[in-house]
Chains A and B, each alone.
Chain A
Amino acid sequence: MTRIVTMTVNGEERELPSPVNRTLLDVLRAEGGLTGTKKGCDVGDCGACTVIMDGKPVNACLVLAVEAEGADILTIEGLQHGPDRPHLLQEKFMEHGGAQCGFCTPGIVMMAKALLDETPAPSEDEIRFALAGNICRCTGYTKIIEAVQDAADEMNKARAQ
């Protein structure tokens, strides 16, 4: 059985057809045309499909699309401020070399965004804890942690001014 699910995706109201047993991840990718959100395991172990749903980070592979009826979804494609105007977190990932193969990157950037929304000045331990469910196999996390820390510092400086 297929339903039309209505949700706000990256600020735009979308009506996306979905079989009732299909995940938000598959529907965002196949019907929404938003392939930036990645499928690394499809069972909630790797975090590559992290999106922000009603302000909270979720594994899109663990949410049925029909559960997202009426929800507000932010994906990696909705994070930048406009063409060639990346979000500060995205800038910092580029600057510090936080992305290698890039497959985990969208999920990690979204999880970092959710962290900084809630905890604007996280300690290194808090960043590591926030990313505990996001597997990166390329970087050893060193440059990811640096990028998130640097982004937080810069946002806080901007706020203080």
Chain B
Amino acid sequence: MTVHDHPVATKQSFSVVGKSVKRSDTLEKVTGSAIYAGDIILPGMLHGKIKRCDIAHARIKSIDTSKALALKGVKAVLTHENVPRVLHYGSPHPRSASVTKDQYILDDRVRYWGEGVAAVAAVSEEIAEEALGLIKVEYEPLPAVFTVEDALKPDAPAIHDNGLDNNNVLPPVIVERGDIEKGFVEADLVIEGEYELGRPTAAYMEPNICVTQWDGNGKLTIWSSTQTAFMVRGALAEVLGVPLNKVRVVVDHMGGGFGAKQDLFQHEFLSALLARETARPVRMEFTRKETFFGGRSRHPGKIWLKQGFTKDGRITARQARIVFNSGAYGSHSPGVTNVGTAAMTSLYRCDNIHLEGRAIYTNTPIAGAFRGYGVVQTYFAIDLQVDEAAERLGFDPAEFKLKNAVREGDIAPSNHPIVGHGLEDCIRRGMAESDWYTVRKAPKGDGVKRRGWGIGCEMHGSSAYPGIKEQGNAIVKMNEDGTVTLLTGTAGLGTGAHTALSQIVAEELGVPFEDIAVVQGDTDVVPWDIGAFASHTTYMGGRAAQIAAADVRRQVLAHAAPMLDAAPEDLTITDGVITRTDGSNRSISLGEAVAPQRGMPAIQLVGVGTYTPTKSYSFGAHFVEVEVDTETGEVAVLQVIPVHEIGKVIHPIAAAGQIEGGIQQGIGHTLSEDYVIDLTNGRSLNPSFVDYKMPLSMDMPPIRTIILETAPDPGGPWGAKGVGEDPIIAIGPAIANAIHDAIGVRFRHYPITPENVLNALRVKLKEA
């Protein structure tokens, strides 16, 4: 049933792919010469700052900017009264399937504490900051709601007028398979539970930043830290009323994004408008506090889940109601709700399913895209409940999960049949590596510190299909000395994507890796790209690069064939040399073959690759040992054995790096990370790295990463699939299940804080 536009290329041995070549971006990074948006310093550059509100929901009665404008060094002030009023998608995706059109650059109304209400450009950051204090805003407070429960009440204030009742961002997402009533009747055991989700945030190291400049011909250049350069271009052009060829977005290196830098932020519009008004370049950088206020978090919310199980360990029915808290704007709520809800059809097999997903506006900071995109939340609930069912039915949890694991031919959330036995392979391998039965039987300890092991599972799609029909593009040029230039639109988040794409081109063309140079991150130059997200860069962008390279290869061989008196199909390229395959040993180097001949222009060798993927699934199982301190409530993760099946691995070290980093962020949201909102007034309580606690060098356990290539997907280059999001999904349930193994308490929420552990132990002691 899976249809791919291009049949998969098979290959027995690889020269570049599968090897951890030296990444093409690291010399710059370790020597400090890599250029990030904030490193752009232009002559005459002004500094922009945003004034943010200190109220969660209000109408702006008046804004007095006269004192700010009078301050020496202030060049312009913008408010809702003098910026274009164009409703736009907070996230600039090309299709509304995943995002919501509900934002203005600046509005006469604020919907969350910390929303921007005005912007200043001044000759220094200090003066801009001082000017913010001189802007007087008079608010007319409106009733505010901070929880989904309050927002759903019939008398709750409507945060947006989108035609839907009860602050719904989108009509409920309903997914049905089979007959749940029949399924529950067949069940011997029914478990029902409510799972509560915290508010972790991406906390990329590079704060949001852009520098904007208009040239004398009315063309805007913006250097911005974004994962979606072409989407930023589209939204800026639309809102500013200029054609696409008058907006150039440049992203060289970026300091992390993890999904959250897919949105378009207020400063990108405001900086462009300030630069236009002042006719000078404007730099606008979020403070760390602002990256919390104005950034995007994972969706908090609640999942009610009920499943039926038989004594012999089958899942007969699955019913869930998912309610995500979208915050003050829709951002990626439609996408997150669709993907997170649909994911619950899979992972563990079940024929009778009824799921309902919602996202609700509240007067809290905006939830958006973040690595794991709804699936972190829904698989946390499923995996915890399946673990509980295994215990209650007398099964080992790993065996129970293996027995129910999704397998070849099952219908995935995308409605495609699953390729290969990836999840089963991961569980089996992890059980062997951890010596599962032995460690589970080992004494938990009877002192202050108790130890336990847990398993969590996941699967995740590469590409956003079917929500968005995506497309990857690449251009590969061979220069007249035989070296190669790859033009790609995909952003350099730091994953090593450009290295992987170069490896793919080198492999396909038969040239050394060192002969590939990458041009990226300039919308005026590179082919259109949807952006770097959805674990699709290697899978989709890599395949496009492979197709473009194959195109050039055909052209080169056709050009060189007469030089070797052979037909193109009787030639091969290895290590930059074209050789006849008939054993005659006649060969010519690429450089010689394509060099300009005397008196003749150089031959133009340009290959174009366009690839429209469907979707592949990667799989993972995490095996985790924790130690719970019963006196302090602290949970330490002692070791993690992540097993991931990701198809053909292009760069093993970079792939492992994705897994280790995902685990770090996952340990964070499971045990400590929570962006806390004061439920009395909507104010952020911990917008700093001291109060928002992430796992750092002292907290991170040893990670023994195992990567399997047992279920390659025909959609990716040589069967490669995505890996970026997978590792953040399985770690949470693995930790929660390990805590249960250690102290016999089943938590149904994250983060599981020391206070939660102590309280639960007290309750347990009382009950005993």
A residues lining the B interface (CB < 8 Å): 19, 21-22, 29-30, 34-43, 45-46, 48, 75-77, 79-80, 86, 89-90, 93-106, 109, 127-129, 131-132, 134-145
Would you list which residues of chain B between 637 and 673 have a CB under 8 Å from chain A?
653-654, 656-657, 660-665
Given the contacts A97-B656, A103-B206, A35 and B39 also touching, CB distance less than 8 Å: yes
| Nearest CB of chain B from residue A129's CB, rounded to whole Å | 7
B126 & A97 in contact (Cβ 8 Å cutoff): no
Number of A-B contacts (CB under 8 A): 182
Q: Nearest chain-B residue to A139 (Cβ)?
A: B661
B494 & A100 in contact (Cβ 8 Å cutoff): yes
Given the contacts A46-B205, A76-B32, A100-B494, A140 and B660 also touching, CB distance less than 8 Å: yes
6 A-B residue pairings within 8 Å (CB atoms): A30-B41, A79-B31, A90-B31, A99-B26, A101-B256, A135-B694
Majority DSSP secondary structure for residues of A touching B: loop
One of B77-85, B695-703, B735-743 at the interface: B695-703
Does B1 have its Cβ within 8 Å of any Cβ on chain A? Answer: no
Q: Name 13 extra pairs, CB < 8 A, besides A97-B654, A99-B30, A135-B696.
A: A43-B688, A45-B690, A76-B31, A90-B27, A93-B26, A94-B23, A101-B206, A101-B253, A102-B255, A129-B698, A139-B657, A140-B664, A143-B653
| Nearest CB of chain A from residue B501's CB, rounded to whole Å | 16
A103 & B654 in contact (Cβ 8 Å cutoff): no
Does B276 have its Cβ within 8 Å of any Cβ on chain A? Answer: no
Cross-chain contact of B23 among A40, A97, A137 (Cβ < 8 A): A97
Chain B contact residues (Cβ within 8 angstroms of A): what range? 35 or more
| Nearest CB of chain A from residue B650's CB, rounded to whole Å | 13
Given the contacts A45-B688, A94-B30, A137 and B663 also touching, CB distance less than 8 Å: no
User: Which 9 A-B residue pairs are closest in the complex by CB-CB distance?
Assistant: A36-B32, A101-B494, A103-B255, A102-B29, A140-B660, A76-B32, A140-B664, A35-B39, A45-B689
* CB-defined contacts of A80 to chain B, threshold 8 Å: 31
Bound-state Cα–Cα, A48 to B696, Å:
14
Would you list which residues of chain B between 7 and 53 have a CB under 8 Å from chain A?
20, 22-23, 25-36, 38-39, 41
Bound-state Cα–Cα, A35 to B285, Å:
15
Does B493 have its Cβ within 8 Å of any Cβ on chain A? Answer: yes
* CB-defined contacts of B28 to chain A, threshold 8 Å: 102
A86 & B653 in contact (Cβ 8 Å cutoff): no
Cross-chain contact of A96 among B31, B36, B653 (Cβ < 8 A): B653
Given the contacts A39-B38, A75-B32, A101-B253, A138 and B689 also touching, CB distance less than 8 Å: no
| Nearest CB of chain B from residue A72's CB, rounded to whole Å | 18
* CB-defined contacts of B404 to chain A, threshold 8 Å: none
Bound-state Cα–Cα, A134 to B206, Å:
13
Given the contacts A36-B32, A104-B205, A94 and B654 also touching, CB distance less than 8 Å: no
A86 & B20 in contact (Cβ 8 Å cutoff): no
Does B496 have its Cβ within 8 Å of any Cβ on chain A? Answer: yes
* CB-defined contacts of B254 to chain A, threshold 8 Å: 101
B688 & A97 in contact (Cβ 8 Å cutoff): no
| Nearest CB of chain A from residue B535's CB, rounded to whole Å | 15
- Most A CB within 10 A of own CB, among B496, B697, B703: B697
Q: Nearest chain-A residue to B34 (Cβ)?
A: A102
Q: Nearest chain-B residue to A48 (Cβ)?
A: B205
Given the contacts A93-B30, A102-B26, A137 and B660 also touching, CB distance less than 8 Å: no
Cross-chain contact of A131 among B22, B32, B656, B697 (Cβ < 8 A): B697
Bound-state Cα–Cα, A14 to B664, Å:
40
A141 & B495 in contact (Cβ 8 Å cutoff): no
| Nearest CB of chain A from residue B410's CB, rounded to whole Å | 31
Given the contacts A76-B32, A142-B660, A95 and B22 also touching, CB distance less than 8 Å: yes
| Binary CB contact string for chain B from 240 to 269 against chain A (1 if under 8 A, 0 otherwise) | 000000000000011110100000000000
A90 & B30 in contact (Cβ 8 Å cutoff): yes
* CB-defined contacts of A96 to chain B, threshold 8 Å: 653
Cross-chain contact of A40 among B41, B126, B206, B258 (Cβ < 8 A): B206
Would you list which residues of chain B between 440 and 455 have a CB under 8 Å from chain A?
none
Does B203 have its Cβ within 8 Å of any Cβ on chain A? Answer: yes
B205 & A97 in contact (Cβ 8 Å cutoff): no
| Nearest CB of chain A from residue B208's CB, rounded to whole Å | 12
| Nearest CB of chain B from residue A35's CB, rounded to whole Å | 4
Given the contacts A101-B494, A106-B32, A109-B30, A142 and B703 also touching, CB distance less than 8 Å: yes
Bound-state Cα–Cα, A143 to B38, Å:
26
| Nearest CB of chain B from residue A49's CB, rounded to whole Å | 11
Bound-state Cα–Cα, A77 to B657, Å:
25
* CB-defined contacts of A41 to chain B, threshold 8 Å: 288, 688-689
Bound-state Cα–Cα, A99 to B493, Å:
12
* CB-defined contacts of B690 to chain A, threshold 8 Å: 45
Bound-state Cα–Cα, A137 to B254, Å:
13
Does B681 have its Cβ within 8 Å of any Cβ on chain A? Answer: no
B496 & A102 in contact (Cβ 8 Å cutoff): no
- Most A CB within 10 A of own CB, among B31, B207, B494, B663: B31
Bound-state Cα–Cα, A83 to B441, Å:
57
* CB-defined contacts of A139 to chain B, threshold 8 Å: 657, 660-661, 664
Given the contacts A97-B657, A101-B206, A86 and B30 also touching, CB distance less than 8 Å: yes
* CB-defined contacts of A99 to chain B, threshold 8 Å: 23, 26, 29-30, 494
Given the contacts A40-B206, A101-B255, A138-B657, A132 and B696 also touching, CB distance less than 8 Å: yes
Bound-state Cα–Cα, A95 to B22, Å:
7
